[in-house]
Amino acid sequence: MKHGFIKTAAATPEIKVADPVFNANSIISCVKAAAEKKVKLLALPELCLTGYTCGDLFGQRTLIESALQQLERIKSETKDLNIIFVLGLPIVKNGKLINAAAVIYRGETLGIAGKRNLPNYNEFYEKRNFVENNEPPVIFKCRQMPEFSFGVEICEDLWAIDPPSVKLARSGAEIILNLSASNEMVGKAEYRRNLVKGQSGRLLCGYVYASAGEGESTSDLVFSGHSLIAENGTILCETKPFENGLIATEIDLYRIAYERQKNTVFPPYEDIEAVYFDMEPEETELTRYISGTPFVPSDEDGKSRRCEEILLMQSSGLKKRISHTKAKSLVIGISGGLDSCLALLVSAKAMDLSGRSRKDIIAVTMPCFGTTERTRNNAVALCEALGVTLREVNISKSVLQHFEDIDHDPDNRNVVYENAQARERTLVLMDIANETGGLTVGTGDLSELALGWATYNGDHMSMYGVNAGVPKTLVRHIVRFYADSSENEVLKSTLYDILDTPVSPELLPAENGKISQITEGLVGPYELHDFFLYYAVRWGFAPKKIYRLAVYALSGKYERAVILKWLKNFYGRFFSQQFKRSCMPDGPKVGSVTLSPRGDWRMPSDACRDVWLRELEEIEA
């Protein structure tokens, strides 16, 4: 429960139709198995205490009374387990039979939820035996952790036009449990998966779906035990049809709470009958998949689609800006590095989309004190392969003259020495753009904006920043995707070499012809910073939680002390460098995280970072 994680589970016990004693034994085994895995909330299938396919046997008092007796036995034999579980059984209420779900905790029944929508079509005839439950839904809340709140709906309720889960979510339930006996048919598993996934996304909730399986009657139907757990539009885990068994994973309730809080179309919580319970928070072992590169899809097909989509978004944004400004040219500084490489690829595609010649792109290489032959040669080869106009402007003399003008010693290689070069390059690009009636294309990426790794009014400034919404880890994959897709062998080999070149601003003199200034050695690994950025900005997580997730996802690659060191560095730079983001150029948003002051991120430039850093000081790496 710490950091908002609740371990949830769905289980499909083996049953026998109309045998509550056997079924109770199976249910007890499932509950104990889940408790062994430290599960705190477990969903079992619809009518699993009797079997869903009992037919007119539901009219037999013997079956109903046996089910109630076995419910008491289940409660007695699980009273010492620290787990809430919900099971399905038939219950007589007001002289009528309802398809019910009993919420059990520590040997007590916290409450009963009834099925609201009874299917009575095709293979279903529930209204023959049951009546609809029209009582208001109930929400169950933990006193010690308000976000741990859940509600229950039963099978067809999810398929209905007005599911009870909508009312439950509007009333604060962050987890919905669905006890189901959905029979299997060709194509139904995929439909069911999409339904659960979609409902969890619409309601911004965790959704635990437990389905009936082995042991149900196969007279006319088969039941596959297809269970799923979803969170906010993503399937966290599921059983394969006919696999049955138990699945368990952690739902992140703080993530859900943040999304609901931020989403202005999600309404304020409504009053609803609530049942409160006590469960002391404890450490939850993480087992769910957490990517070390959250901006990059894990599967290759998804990665290619993402890269292609982002390239089109960037180039379409630039195309619009070209059209609006009636720009006669695009002017871009090309260094032989990753960011300028991507910006040039985007510019080429924008010109193609505009029906313009790539010769209208003026790529300017501006060698100075730190430029190496490798990066310069790659810049030239890239421009030639793309068919753009290449110009070289050596800025060494201009920068030295500037040093003389301001009385700066060239041997003093401080921030003045570095930034003067960046500002001179920007001056050259802006003036060439003015001279040619063009538009200066910015190359800086989202990760650099987060860290403020740009010279103010130097490479920080442009007329349109095409990479402003793309984090460094994704820049690398987009360039690789372009290389893999290219049929131009020269372009392909050049891009691969750019990918293998260390990231560097090249503002300090080379050593033996090699790059002497490695960016990640100064500000830290971009893989870590992109991880921090994603969870700090997209989800608003606290530093301790981000550290925990980073250790979990990246511990095989980085030591805990290294992660903590760069996390402190991230927060320090993120706060201190906001002034650069407050006046950043226009650029297209392409993902869920952007730092544009006109879009998703508005932050005072003088905001204090002490609260975040103090929390990190409490961590022992």
Question: Among the residues of 501-542, which ranges form H helices?
Answer: 519-523, 526-533
Tell me the pLDDT tens digit for each residue of 302-323. 888 999 999 999 999 999 999 9
Domains and CATH numbers, the chain: 2-277 (3.60.110.10), 300-617 (3.40.50.620)
Tell me the pLDDT tens digit for each residue of 125-177. 899 999 999 888 999 999 999 999 999 999 999 999 999 999 999 999 999 99
User: Span 501-511, mean pLDDT?
Assistant: 82
Tell me the pLDDT tens digit for each residue of 105-122. 999 999 999 999 999 988
Please report the pLDDT score of residue 519 as a whole number.
Answer: 83
Please report the pLDDT score of residue 119 as a whole number.
Answer: 92
User: Span 283-295, mean pLDDT?
Assistant: 94
User: Span 12-34, mean pLDDT?
Assistant: 97
Tell me the pLDDT tens digit for each residue of 177-211. 999 999 999 999 999 999 999 999 999 999 999 99
Tell me the pLDDT tens digit for each residue of 527-560. 999 999 999 999 999 999 999 999 999 988 999 9
**Beta strands at 41-43 and 84-93: parallel, antiparallel or unpaired:** parallel
Q: What percent of the chain has pLDDT over 70?
A: 100
Confidence of residue 510 (pLDDT cuts 50, 70, 90): confident
DSSP 8-state symbol, 381? H
- Taking alpha carbons only, the member of 380, 617, 338 closest to residue 474 is 338
Provide the 3-class DSSP secondary structure of residue 145: coil
User: Span 570-574, mean pLDDT?
Assistant: 97
Tell me the pLDDT tens digit for each residue of 314-347. 999 999 999 999 999 999 999 999 999 999 999 9
Please report the pLDDT score of residue 512 as a whole number.
Answer: 75
- Asked if 608 is an active-site residue, the reply is no
Confidence of residue 235 (pLDDT cuts 50, 70, 90): very high
User: Span 450-476, mean pLDDT?
Assistant: 96
Q: What is the mean pLDDT of the chain?
A: 95
**From residue 39, how far is each of 48, 165, 255, 512, 608 by CA, in Å?**
20, 22, 19, 59, 39
Confidence of residue 424 (pLDDT cuts 50, 70, 90): very high
Assess whether pLDDT exceeds 70 at residue 516.
no
Phi and psi angles of residue 426, each rounded to the nearest 5 degrees, phi first: -65, -40
Catalytic option among 155, 307, 341, 383: 155
Please report the pLDDT score of residue 60 as a whole number.
Answer: 96
Please report the pLDDT score of residue 287 as a whole number.
Answer: 95
Assess whether pLDDT exceeds 90 at residue 367.
yes
- Asked if 424 is an active-site residue, the reply is no
CA distance 353 to 343: 15
Assess whether pLDDT exceeds 90 at residue 504.
no
**From residue 386, how far is each of 288, 381, 438 by CA, in Å?**
43, 9, 19
Sheet of 5-12, strand order: 108-114, 96-105, 84-93, 41-43, 5-12, 245-252
Half-sphere exposure of 422 (CA within 13 A, CB side): 23
Residue 245 in tokens: 């068994």
Please report the pLDDT score of residue 250 as a whole number.
Answer: 98
Catalytic option among 7, 40, 115, 568: 115
Tell me the pLDDT tens digit for each residue of 370-395. 889 999 999 999 999 999 999 999 99
Catalytic option among 7, 30, 40, 46: 46
Please report the pLDDT score of residue 161 as a whole number.
Answer: 93
- Asked if 115 is an active-site residue, the reply is yes
